[in-house]
């Protein structure tokens, strides 16, 4: 699930996310557009906003980017 999906699902604007997390607006937009990957600090802030463990959000973001192996590749 992408950050855009999470944001839309939770009915939050980009502006509201940046106000609630302290992540600069342009930085957050780069995260959503896939031009940058969130820092650990940003992942923690976003996970807190979405009430989920940071590790879960990190895994979702990695899966969305294709950075995790497919189940068939896992031994």
pLDDT value of position 75? 55
- Judge residue 61's burial from the number of C-beta atoms within 10 Å of its C-beta, 0-12 exposed, 13-18 middle, 19 or more buried: buried
pTM of the complete model: 0.87
pLDDT digits (tens, 9 = 90+) for 7-65: 999 999 999 999 999 999 999 999 999 999 999 999 999 999 999 999 999 999 999 98
Q: How far does Cα 4 stand from its chain's mean position?
A: 8
Comparing CA positions, the residue from 3, 2, 6, 29 lying closest to residue 18 is 29
In the chain the domains, ranked by start, together with CATH numbers, are 3-66 (1.10.260.40)
């Amino acid at each position: 699930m992408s950050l855009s999906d999470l944001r839309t699902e939770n009915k939050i604007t980009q502006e509201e996310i940046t106000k609630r997390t302290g992540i600069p607006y342009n930085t957050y937009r780069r995260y959503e557009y896939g031009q940058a990957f969130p820092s650990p600090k940003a992942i923690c802030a976003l996970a807190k906003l979405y009430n989920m463990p940071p590790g879960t959000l990190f895994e979702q973001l990695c899966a969305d980017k294709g950075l995790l192996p497919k189940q068939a590749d896992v031994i």
